[in-house]
Copies of this chain bind each other. A is one copy, B any other.
């Protein structure tokens, strides 16, 4: 039978309200009394009852907002499922969780929605940021001025006052790719990297991690010059043709971004499907199909569920239980999928 406030109150010879003040640092209490009560509570192993707290808080209506960008992509749809579960949990405990989906990337819209949520007195916001000066400012303003905690997820904005970030360690993701590709082509020969574009920080990091690890673990592997697909299948296919023409002996391909179907169809057309090993990112239906067919050998992914679920729950635990996030950077697992464990 768990210890209750009432039991502590009896033991301390005070009222429930006083115990509450002592245990939750609400002030308006004599320091000696506070200390004594805290000690008794500790001794009795008091653990607050969430249900009781939830009931009492139900009057205040905790409101959490979640803002997704690129909500139309398959990955974000999986993220969204995690968020829906968080929504269920929050709402079954009497809170409100509002989800705003933005198609594509649009920092301006993120800011507009943030303002809207602030007017509606939301208590915390989780968002997928983009690298935008005004958005950085807005995040800092929300945290400092309005006292509304912000959590970033999927992508981070370093050097802002967001309380934490949930997402992939993109450098490590590149390293994992290098390890797999290096092993599977036997530690020698040529590999080509097709990156999505030059400016996206996550893709740059993947590239960096990949290059670093290749240098360290597979010094005999020759890396061709990095090419950019702009996440476009047509462009990716042309680049792939070009690579196969100029370097017919290439043994491995690493794609940091999109364009898988362009690459895979080109490989199929040229009949290189058995010889070329390809490592790509993220689990879309399409890329999973190529994985099953064997045109892609490995997919490296992020735990979409955690990315959707945790940011909202971190805010909930903070606002509801006063529990601070453990770490500023909460990296999700780097998941390796083959055709056998999808």
Contacts and interface: CB of A to CB of B under 8 A. Distances in A.
Contacts of A113: none
A77 interface: no
Nearest to A48: B92
Interface in A327-342: 333-341
A54 interface: yes
Contacts of A61: 1
A274 to B, nearest CB: 8
Copies of this protein in the complex: 2
A78 to B, nearest CB: 14
Interface residues of A, number: 37
Contact of A58 (B51, B54, B93): B51
A338 to B, nearest CB: 5
Nearest to A209: B340
A183 B52 contact: no
Interface of A: 1-2, 47-52, 54-55, 58, 61, 91-94, 172, 175-176, 178-180, 183-184, 186, 213, 277, 297, 333-341
24 contacts: A2-B91, A47-B92, A48-B92, A49-B93, A49-B94, A50-B54, A50-B93, A51-B52, A51-B58, A51-B92, A51-B93, A51-B94, A52-B55, A55-B55, A176-B338, A178-B340, A179-B340, A180-B338, A180-B340, A184-B184, A333-B341, A334-B340, A334-B341, A336-B338
